[in-house]
Amino acid sequence: MNQIIFFEEIGDGDLNLVGGKGFNLGKIFQARLPVPNGFCISTAAYKTFWGDNKNSEIMAKLKTVNLENVSDISKQIRDNFVSKEMDQELENQIVAALAIFPASTRFAIRSSATAEDLKHASFAGQQDTYLNISGIDNILYAIKSCWASLYTDRSILYRNQHNIAHDQVFMAVVVQQMINSDSAGIMFTADPVTGNRKYISIDAGFGLGESLASGTILPDIYKYNKKLSKIKSKHIAVKKTAVISDTHIGTTEVELDVNQSIMTVLDDNTIEQLALLGLKLEQMYDAPQDIEWCIDAGKIFILQTRSITSLFPIPTSTTSDLEVFLSLNHIQMMTNPISPLGQDSIRLLFRTEDIPLAEYNPRFLANAAGRLYINISPFLTHKLGQKILPAIINNVDANLGTAIKQLVQSKHDKIKSNLNLNPFKKQFKPVLFQSIKNFITQDTSNIVEKIDFLVEQQVVELNKLYSITGTHKDKLEFIYGQSIFLKSAIQNILSEVIPGIVAMKLLTKMEFKLLGSSMYISEISKGLEGNITTLLGLWIGDLADLVRANSHLIDLLSDTDYDSLFERVNNLGDDYTEFRTSFNNFMAKYGSRAAGEIDIAVKRWADNPKFIAKSILSLVETGISGEHRKNFLATVQHAHTMEKAFIEVIRMQHGSRKAKRATKLIKIFRDCMPLREHHKFLITHYLKHNRRLYLEIADAFVAAGRIDNREDIFYLGFWELYAAVQNEEVFQDLVATRKNEYEYFGRLKPPSLMTSDGEIITAKQNMEQFPKDALPGMAVSSGVVEGFARVITDPADAKVEVGEILVAPFTDPGWTILFINAAGLVMEIGGLLTHGTVVAREYGLPAVVGVEDATTLIKTGQRIRVNADLGYVEILSQ
């Protein structure tokens, strides 16, 4: 069997034979782009060689590979490769292929793995390349070394990280004419740092590209503006060395003379020619490309191209002008991808008018890599919006608010939009007017009880409404019809919350203006009574108190058969009536919640009570009976003490009139702010009912063989599902494709703010006010605390010991239980009014949010200091 495939012979179905690099080279060679000729040694040759020579004992060690032993295991596998003889038939085929080239030809021998340079995975720099090779023995050795490089340390670890099976990746080898280049480099058809798709970035050095790949020189960097078709900037580096072809074999490094070291590598004409080639490749692959190129005697050659898989996709734009996108995921404190049905469920929540199902399309919501983005461009085209929006968002995410403000300052004149703000104005005006009226005239004394009653009524009404029967089409039309059910209730809740937010802002300004401090309001904002999420945590503490002294209840919750937990609780005898009643009431009220609850695909606590059972047991183990209530009461009492002190200081220094105003504002603030979480609590009940109906449809689809598992239904969008219930289409292939996509999406870090050019906008931090090496953030709940860090990225099986400082990417109500033992809080995302901030204040925990990469920079067990008076975190010990 012929195991040699020349570039001109590579077909569309040959990816698994020639690997990613070989496949791309064949594609662009056949497109008549300037690619040095060559051929691929197919993966069939690798499989034969590997099958004849693999050491199963060594390969078994890959199952237990880790950072400590990976180098040793890698060396054993690679040594085994190169020590074996190649099959004579394959060697004869390679010799015959080489004979087509002139005898003096030197070759570049490059690895080409089947999982390499693909749409969602780039193995750039992980396998080996051998340059300037001649002579059959040297070429054969280089080929075997390329095969062996499939098991370098970095390749093994990368495949483990991305869940790619080692025995499902095979290696082809590219044998290509060597270009003895004068200059070489890398071209990115999107800015690799900012993500901006408008610019091409070219790195260039003298000699071969090896010096850039190995990082031994500082390259010249040229930026080219695609839209304007002109060079944007040049950075000419001092290039002290270059890698060139050795006179015998391989490469050698030489020093450049002073004059050449400061010369520009590329002239303007060459930069433009390279940029045009880059644009052709980007258009060919319909994706930004990472391209290796070289130049010999003025002629440009393309050595390879691959998609830039690290770039975050751009949300769908509504115009060709510059638009700005704000991450709804960040606002909701959940940066993981949201399922297709989860995204559409959120879209339905934004429906405010009676629009036919087939016509509804909220254009201001765009998808990118499984995340939802709000097109905020129409707000930023107006001066009022430019001022108000950053202030509002600052309450949700401090860094995000700052980033929007800085973006407006630099690009406000370039932002355009064709989206209509009238629907938003129509919905927001009644809320705004009612909020103003409530702030001025309303007695807020019983506002929590009033809204609690409203929410309970809505929950009861939802329970009645969702007793629907009928066809699958009927159920989906019912879900669509009910998507505006909560509109009035949510507007009522928000019109009570906004006065609390306004009062908080006015109090903060008043304290700073009259007293020159920010101490009092930070303390007064703690221990707010009536927050529905804080009560959740306290209730869990109460359940733990009931369990703590009872070994039978401990055993009941320790049983990992969580599917039977509700049945086992209800089968408890009369001696356990108090626990049974409390547990069932808790689940009836809060069973619709979960970490990441905005995604309807996420199982609720009522679906899987594992988290609740483990949380109760964690508090049984670490807590003291009644302590959680005592601590919360102490926080409330301290807040009231500070409230009185603040009013008295103002009275003494500025008179009774201002003290009276402060008293009123504090009352509005403390009465209204506990309602901050009520609207989301109501939404989770709405989603719970919709989830049940979707799963009823899913069970029918499974029975009909249209999907394999009931949870697969969430990989279909709402409108796809609506069409599906009216036909007999099967979805196994679509579900499999989307599962692969979502695995890739999960590896991408979503930006909180980006433009339609793909540029990621981040806030510029002022570090001068902080100690050296401090991690800057925003102080949201005052105090200074030192303790051991507990870094948690998934609350499912996590626990916090008493006195530890919780470090998290974000939190939502599903995390609340972890706050009970915590001594402080650090979050990557957050603002003054986000879940973690509110709960931290109500538990009296010092908290700093907006600490970029906190869960990466801080490790569990490190001693850290959280300075929530000034807004930074220090790592005190390693």
Give the span between the Cα atoms of 451 and 447, in whole angstroms. Answer: 6
Tens digits of per-residue pLDDT, 807-828? 999 888 788 888 888 999 999 9
Predicted local distance difference test score (pLDDT) of residue 673: 93
Predicted local distance difference test score (pLDDT) of residue 126: 53
For residues 701 and 258, the model is more confident at 701
Give the span between the Cα atoms of 682 and 684, in whole angstroms. Answer: 5
Cα–Cα nearest to 186, from 25, 308, 283:
308
Q: Which residues is 251 bridged to in the sheet?
A: 245
Q: What percent of the chain has pLDDT over 90?
A: 64
Predicted local distance difference test score (pLDDT) of residue 115: 64
pLDDT at 116 exceeding the cut of 70: no
Predicted local distance difference test score (pLDDT) of residue 683: 93
Decide: 827 and 847 in contact? Cβ < 8 Å. Answer: yes
Predicted local distance difference test score (pLDDT) of residue 411: 86
Decide: 244 and 251 in contact? Cβ < 8 Å. Answer: yes
What 3-state class would DSSP assign to 106?
coil
Count the residues in the chain.
878
Give the span between the Cα atoms of 702 and 704, in whole angstroms. Answer: 5
Non-local (6+) Cβ contacts of 61 within 8 A are: 69, 73, 76
Average of pLDDT values for 88-111?
A: 94
pLDDT at 830 exceeding the cut of 90: no
Count CA within 13 A, CB hemisphere, residue 27.
18
pLDDT at 390 exceeding the cut of 50: yes
Local confidence band at 549 (pLDDT 50, 70, 90 cut-offs):
confident
Catalytic status, residue 166: no
Q: What is the bridge-based pairing of β-strands 863-867 and 847-849?
A: unpaired
Predicted local distance difference test score (pLDDT) of residue 125: 46
Tens digits of per-residue pLDDT, 206-250? 999 887 876 777 899 999 999 999 999 999 999 888 888 888 888
**Range of weakest confidence among 300-304, 695-699, 831-835:** 831-835
Average of pLDDT values for 293-315?
A: 92
**Range of weakest confidence among 53-67, 253-267, 281-295, 777-791:** 53-67
Segment (H or E) for 275: helix 268-285
Of the residues 330, 628, 678, 835, which is catalytic? 835
For residues 699 and 414, the model is more confident at 699
What 3-state class would DSSP assign to 234?
strand
Q: What percent of the chain has pLDDT over 70?
A: 98
Average of pLDDT values for 416-436?
A: 86
Local confidence band at 192 (pLDDT 50, 70, 90 cut-offs):
confident
pLDDT at 123 exceeding the cut of 60: no
Q: What is the bridge-based pairing of β-strands 784-791 and 775-776?
A: unpaired
Predicted local distance difference test score (pLDDT) of residue 117: 46
pLDDT at 580 exceeding the cut of 90: yes
Average of pLDDT values for 702-706?
A: 96
Tens digits of per-residue pLDDT, 255-297? 899 899 899 999 999 999 999 999 999 999 999 999 999 999 9
Tens digits of per-residue pLDDT, 632-684? 999 999 999 999 999 999 999 999 999 999 999 999 999 999 999 999 999 99
Predicted local distance difference test score (pLDDT) of residue 124: 47
Give the span between the Cα atoms of 365 and 347, in whole angstroms. Answer: 7
Local confidence band at 609 (pLDDT 50, 70, 90 cut-offs):
very high
pLDDT at 371 exceeding the cut of 80: yes
Average pLDDT across the chain, whole number: 90
Average of pLDDT values for 129-134?
A: 91
Q: Which residues is 498 bridged to in the sheet?
A: none
Give the span between the Cα atoms of 385 and 391, in whole angstroms. Answer: 10
pTM for the whole thing?
0.86
